[in-house]
Amino acid sequence: MKQRFLAVSLLAVAITAPLPSAAQSRFASHAFEDPVARQLYTSAYDRWHALDTTVASYTALIRQRVAGALRTPLRDRVLYSNEYAVRTWWRRGARPVTMVLGNRTRHPGRGFALARGEADWLDAMPYAEPFSPGDDHLLFGWNREDEVGPPGADGRALVHPLADRADLVYRFRSGDTITVSFPDGRLVRAVALQFTPLRADAFLLTGTLWIDPVSGVLMRAVYRPSVAMDFMRDIDDPDAREANLAMRLMPGVFKPVSLRLNSVLVDYALWEFEHWLPYRARFEVLATAGVLKGTLTVDVSYEIESFTGVADDPEAAAGHDEVADNAFVANLLARQGAAYELLDSTQSVARGKDTRFIVPKDRRFLEMSPELPPPIWDDAPGFATVREAADLAGTLAQVPVASYSRTPWAFRYGWGSPEMIRYNRVEGLAAGLEFDAVLAGPHTLLTSASFGLADGKVKARVGLDRSTELRRLTLGGFHELRSTDAEAGHFGFGNSITALVTGRDEGEYYRATGLDLTWRPPEGERESFVFRAYGERQEAVETRAGFAFFQAFDDEWSFAPNLKADEVDEAGAEVTVRSWWGEEPDRAQVGVEWYGQVARNRPVEG
């Protein structure tokens, strides 16, 4: 049956009149801030728990784009990227059939592995399963059991806001309305339902659901976990003793290990004015291991090509028919000629999946397919644009911040953080410690202190950090040792070893005491700019250390004297801007890092 897909456009408008009062709620009364939220939640809950059995089958062209990168201050260095296009036939009660139209993967060593026959053209294809109507609507491609569960079902499962007993751990409030308009003038309204967990937890979500108040259908979802997942704190499996021990013995420079799902966007589109089927999804993940950061971005597009309801295909409700399924696959192969074949269920992308795959016999064709979407850094029809992805932060910023049931804190010392153990000609051997604690909402207390054996001085910094979806602000007070070249890494491991072993210290140092305010992009974003305003007193320091291994038996040797300087009071501002153009690893790229400072100082009299 040939159908025509109805495109929709979304227009945000303010809601001016309250919705009708809901019937007596079956949920916890404290879970709702207003009657509209109660009605929306009740309608969406009932719809989500009543499996959608009205869809008999559909055919969809599915395109996906993925990029994994190593995050650096100047740019995200892409290490892995993939684009694929498949056509999927889904029928209720039958195993899905997927024809692979194209697959393009790039990562270091892939070409060499293919040339030597050590890899298959489909090995690195990150295809999951097609969307199943009636399954979870927060991230199509995942089913309910894999993605979410009710509170307490699994200590390591995300808690769906519409799951059983979710009203005991989430609080809901209504928001603005979006109006979906169709070419024939018909309108469908969706009201925003914001949800926040009663306590901040890595497995509790925060975000907004846009729900049709009449049918309870979920039309759009934007969400993220309420806090980043700390592997030491949130995933401590008593049955995985070896993994837990390895995590605890990991060098401090690679701690903490965390996973932050920055944002997830899921959109659905209306079909036949009755069924909401997948349209697109996008999510971004940031993984951190101490000084190392990596990002993963996934973009998915569904183009529904045909659709059949159960009313038009009564046999779909009768269940699985193996003979009919095999005949369908055979018919597809016959129509494609000798160019395609059925992939063995034990091979590459088909391994461990219920889907049956039809693939080209000549796998080299996959990377040349015209059906492939452009890389994820280019805008393309059917995918979320760069502007829409950026707007996600603004949407999530409107949702209240979850509070902690108990104050999370972290204490690090010794090798637990970069620069806490260091050696230079002013301090000699210096050791430090750090203590961080979440105070309330987006506010975090940051403290650090160190002591140098040679100069006998304590250095310290105390900061109050406010981190939101839009920006990160830090107000700090400090009494610390500084290098005249802050970007040269004179307090890092390399210069410390050189100074301790050879007696050569490249840094020039001074002491600074004062206050500063720093503004930078939000956590999870590349540090494309840093603005700092400060007021401080700068003092000269002298060389105090006198030991290096290579000079241990030279009585006349000493470190070079430190730079002489006047004591001054200085107020000013400095800004660093980092721009980068080009993303594809095999094409030209260019980047610029610009630093500017304006300051005024005056000598300290006496």
Could you identify the residue written with the tokens 């000493």? Answer: 558
Q: What is the mean pLDDT of residues 174-191?
A: 78
165: amino acid identity, one letter: R
pLDDT above 80 (res 22)? no
Tell me the two tokens of residue 277: 């089927």
- Amino acid 431: pLDDT: 93
In contact, 279 and 302? CB cutoff 8 Å: yes
| DSSP calls for 255-285 | --EEEEEEEEEEEEEEETTTEEEEEEEEEEE
pLDDT above 80 (res 564)? yes
Burial class for 353, CB neighbours closer than 10 Å (0-12, 13-18, 19+): middle
DSSP secondary structure code for residue 400 in this structure: P
DSSP secondary structure code for residue 431 in this structure: E
Tell me the two tokens of residue 465: 């950090």
Q: How far is CA 35 from CA 24, 211, 469, in A?
A: 10, 15, 28
Q: Can you give the pTM of this predicted structure?
A: 0.79
In contact, 90 and 130? CB cutoff 8 Å: yes
- Amino acid 141: pLDDT: 45
pLDDT in tens, 321-337: 677 777 778 878 777 66
- Amino acid 392: pLDDT: 78
- Amino acid 6: pLDDT: 36
In contact, 582 and 589? CB cutoff 8 Å: yes
pLDDT above 90 (res 413)? no
Q: How far is CA 586 from CA 42, 51, 580, in A?
A: 52, 46, 15
In sequence order, what are the residues at sequence separation of 6 or more whose Cβ sits closer than 8 angstroms to the Cβ of residue 76? 69, 70, 295, 526, 583
120-134, 306-320, 368-382: least confidently modelled range: 306-320
**By three-state DSSP, how is residue 163 classified?**
coil
3-state helix/strand/coil string of 324-338: HHHHHHHHHHHHHHH
- Amino acid 296: pLDDT: 92
**What average pLDDT does the structure give for the chain?**
82
In contact, 200 and 225? CB cutoff 8 Å: no
- pLDDT bucket at 182, cuts 50 / 70 / 90: low
What is the length of the chain?
A: 606
Looking at per-residue pLDDT, the higher value among 513 and 115 belongs to: 513
Q: Of 395, 448, 393, 389, which Cα lies nearest the Cα of 422?
A: 448
- Amino acid 365: pLDDT: 87
- pLDDT bucket at 185, cuts 50 / 70 / 90: low
Q: What is the mean pLDDT of residues 293-312?
A: 87
- Amino acid 213: pLDDT: 87
- In angstroms, rounded to a whole number, what is the distance separating the alpha carbons of residues 416 and 413? 5
- In angstroms, rounded to a whole number, what is the distance separating the alpha carbons of residues 333 and 336? 5
Hey, which residues does 467 pair with through a beta bridge? 472
- Amino acid 183: pLDDT: 58
Q: What is the mean pLDDT of residues 352-359?
A: 86
pLDDT above 50 (res 8)? no
pLDDT above 50 (res 255)? yes
Ramachandran bin of 603, using left for φ above 0, alpha for ψ from -120 to 50, beta for the remaining angles: beta
Rg of the chain over CA atoms, in angstroms?
Answer: 29
pLDDT in tens, 141-166: 444 444 455 555 445 678 889 888 89
Burial class for 428, CB neighbours closer than 10 Å (0-12, 13-18, 19+): buried
In contact, 71 and 293? CB cutoff 8 Å: yes
Looking at per-residue pLDDT, the higher value among 118 and 426 belongs to: 426
- Amino acid 350: pLDDT: 76
Tell me the two tokens of residue 577: 């801007």
- pLDDT bucket at 316, cuts 50 / 70 / 90: low
In contact, 59 and 82? CB cutoff 8 Å: no
pLDDT above 90 (res 425)? yes
- pLDDT bucket at 91, cuts 50 / 70 / 90: confident
How many Cβ atoms sit within 10 Å of the Cβ of residue 272? 12
- Amino acid 539: pLDDT: 94
Looking at per-residue pLDDT, the higher value among 406 and 234 belongs to: 406
Q: How far is CA 431 from CA 448, 449, 569, in A?
A: 11, 9, 28
- In angstroms, rounded to a whole number, what is the distance separating the alpha carbons of residues 89 and 101? 13
- In angstroms, rounded to a whole number, what is the distance separating the alpha carbons of residues 125 and 417? 37
- Amino acid 16: pLDDT: 36
Hey, which residues does 559 pair with through a beta bridge? none
- In angstroms, rounded to a whole number, what is the distance separating the alpha carbons of residues 61 and 56? 17
- Amino acid 136: pLDDT: 59
- Amino acid 234: pLDDT: 65
pLDDT in tens, 473-524: 999 999 999 999 888 889 988 999 999 999 999 999 999 999 999 999 988 7
Ramachandran bin of 380, using left for φ above 0, alpha for ψ from -120 to 50, beta for the remaining angles: beta
DSSP secondary structure code for residue 6 in this structure: -
- In angstroms, rounded to a whole number, what is the distance separating the alpha carbons of residues 141 and 99? 16
pLDDT above 50 (res 556)? yes
In contact, 268 and 276? CB cutoff 8 Å: yes
In sequence order, what are the residues at sequence separation of 6 or more whose Cβ sits closer than 8 angstroms to the Cβ of residue 200? 226, 227, 401, 402, 403, 404, 405
**What is the percent of the chain with per-residue pLDDT over 90, rounded to a whole number?**
34
